[in-house]
Amino acid sequence: MKLRDIVVKKAVLPQLAATKRDDAIRELVNALVEAGKITAELRDTFVKSIIARENRGSTGFGHGVAVPHAKTTSVKQLVVAVGVSKAGVDFNSLDKQPVHSIFLLLSPEDRPEEHLDAMEAIFGNLSRDQFRRFMRQADSVEDIMTLLEEADQKQPTSR
């Protein structure tokens, strides 16, 4: 699975305003609403669902990255919003460090294999130090999209 196929360009925020976890989640969900990928009526439902998932265990995996996510019957296709925070967001990460790159994932509940493929594509890149560094330095939507495209070209094709 390619990042460019699942990341919603209109939901890429190179200057995330939020400094707190719940606000960052809300900001990224709002970006998906504004991009027309989810309805405004479901905004609060998605935010609550993702925060509930975070409260069961942080998706801040260390090295300045987090992948908040939810599976839901309310989306028909997998969508990802991306936020970059220069200041950092406290995500209660495993390494207790602030998060700078956030990939928020919503996936259809009835297609768990797609969810796993997306998580694999995201983690495969976020586990690379160079990718994380470049994400943190990205200043524009175009910078981030170019980085995602380059990452896709380096990924071996699967399934």
Contacts of 99 (CB under 8 A, 6+ apart): 24, 60, 64, 65, 66, 85, 88, 89, 90, 91, 93
* Rg over CA atoms, the chain: 14
Query: Rounded distance, CA 89 to CA 91, Å?
Result: 6
Q: Which of 24, 25, 40 is nearest to 106 (CA)?
A: 25
- Catalytic residue chosen out of the listed positions 63, 69, 100, 115: 69
In the residue annotation, 115 being an active-site residue is answered as no
| Catalytic machinery residues | 69
